[in-house]
Chains A and B, each alone.
Chain A
Amino acid sequence: MLPELSHKEIHRYSRHLLIPDVGLEGQKKLKAASVLIVGTGGLGSPVALYLAAAGVGRIGLVDYDVVDFSNLQRQVIHGESRLGDLKVESARERMLDLNPEIQIDVYNEVINSENAFRIADPYEIIVDGTDNFPTRYLINDLCVLTGKTNVYGSIFRFDGQASVFGAEEGPCYRCLFPEPPPPGLVPSCAEGGVLGVLPGTIGSIQATETLKIILGIGEPLIGRLLLYDALDLSFQTVKLHKNPECKVCGEHPEITGLIDYEAFCGMPAHDHDEGSAGEEWDITALQLSSRLKENPGLRLIDVREPHEREISNLDGSELFPLGQFAARLNELDSAEELVIFCKAGTRSTRALEILASAGFKKMKNLKGGINSWAIDVDPNLPIY
């Protein structure tokens, strides 16, 4: 039995009610629906705003983070007045301002194997708006194991992907990507950047797919992967097939419960750019500043990209972009002490691993990268 709409709701949703494919019954289906949005960042912002505006009756929001200045370039649900506040609370306030008729539940926690079943239980559909591989595999497996629909979206720089996974008749995320790429191959948005409007496009597609599934109209992206290239302004869909050997949805599944996804992916379940190579290998910005006074000739290796040196730079440093690092080891001397740095310490940690595997021993990682130098040593440098 679908819930009734008040006169106020009929007025609010008038433009939906005018579409024969939605109508009163469709709008009631939206009111009766429940959707969990994991991540209230770039993708989660448009998804949450449009599902709230559309009148989805119960929306859950999961995020453990607080609103940061560098989020506002794309995470349009938040604002400067909410800097430092919990993202789920900032998002809830904006959604209720847009539509106070709906129920919004917030989960200010990291979704993981321990709490995922509890968090997901009240919802029929899960929208994947996360920013990391471990949580994407977790959401996929959770949806397959519970029979929920996974509305997938993912972005990087100018590229976006969207699909609908986990539906019984279609493939799942693991059918396409049985394993994640090794740590370091695919930079996160915190390392590699993203065009601010890109999550608006992909998130809006995820919201569209969610509404279509609830309404039972159109052809959802089940068994298809949408690829969007903002530079070419091209959309392409490719066919996806269920993999009979898929470890979670195949004929003989090996994964019958949630696993340790950080271990499986070999990376943390967040995209915070806060690289530390461990105490033995780290040098802080203040320590480096003292060392440079004693030894101005200390070799500083910058593993960022050339265009990042226009944003901020350390005098006397040499550019070895991480992508070329392994191929240029012959330009470095293992007898010499090296200090490796990047923006915030993630890429430099990977460079240290490459050095270690090549037998180097006298290298240090600038903990927190050049951004920590800007905070602790030279306030004239910008933080980015």
Chain B
Amino acid sequence: MPTLKIPTPLRPYAEGHSTLNLPGQVVEEVLEGAVATYPLLKKHLFNDEGKLRPYVNIFLGEDNVNQLAGLKTLLSDADTLLIIPSIAGG
């Protein structure tokens, strides 16, 4: 199953987990699986129309999935998706 890495600011909404293993053939299915398991994550990832929020960046390896096929990007079981959070501390 592909792995989804949860960044620190979002971990409180995923019961503290730093990684989730979720079934899915494409990015969208993994993200949907994550919000189905942890409903508190949903409003932080998706807007009311179900689109990814503009400050949420999903990377597959080195690449932003927006540069690939977006939420329809195909995944293999060994893939790790990374949510890159917007943080501001200094």
Contacts and interface: CB of A to CB of B under 8 A. Distances in A.
B44 interface: yes
Contact of A133 (B13, B59, B88): B88
Contacts of A225: 84
B67 A185 contact: no
Interface in A204-253: 225, 227, 236-241
A180 B61 CA distance: 24
B90 A129 contact: yes
A166 interface: no
Interface in A36-90: 39, 41-44
B70 interface: no
B70 to A, nearest CB: 14
A214 B35 CA distance: 45
Contacts of B12: 321, 323
B55 A153 contact: no
A42 B90 contact: yes
A159 B8 contact: yes
Interface string B41-82: 000100000000111010101111001000000000000001
Interface string B8-42: 11001100000000000000000000000000100
Q: How large is the interface on B (under 10, 10 to 19, 20 to 34, 35 or more residues)?
A: 20 to 34
Contacts, number: 100
Nearest to B13: A323
Contact of B87 (A41, A44, A155, A324): A155
A327 B9 CA distance: 18
Given A239-B64, A241-B67, A185 B44 contact: yes
A258 interface: no
Given A154-B88, A185-B9, A327-B40, A239 B63 contact: yes
Contact of A181 (B8, B55, B59): B55
Given A178-B54, A238-B64, A239-B63, 5 more contacts: A131-B89, A177-B57, A227-B82, A271-B89, A323-B40
Interface of B: 7-9, 12-13, 40, 44, 53-55, 57, 59, 61-64, 67, 82, 84-90
Interface of A: 39, 41-44, 128-133, 136, 153-159, 161, 176-181, 185-189, 192, 194, 199, 225, 227, 236-241, 271, 321, 323-324, 327
Closest 8 CB pairs of A and B: A323-B12, A189-B89, A156-B87, A131-B90, A43-B90, A179-B54, A178-B54, A155-B89
13 contacts: A42-B89, A131-B90, A155-B89, A176-B84, A177-B57, A179-B54, A181-B53, A185-B44, A186-B9, A186-B86, A236-B82, A238-B63, A241-B64
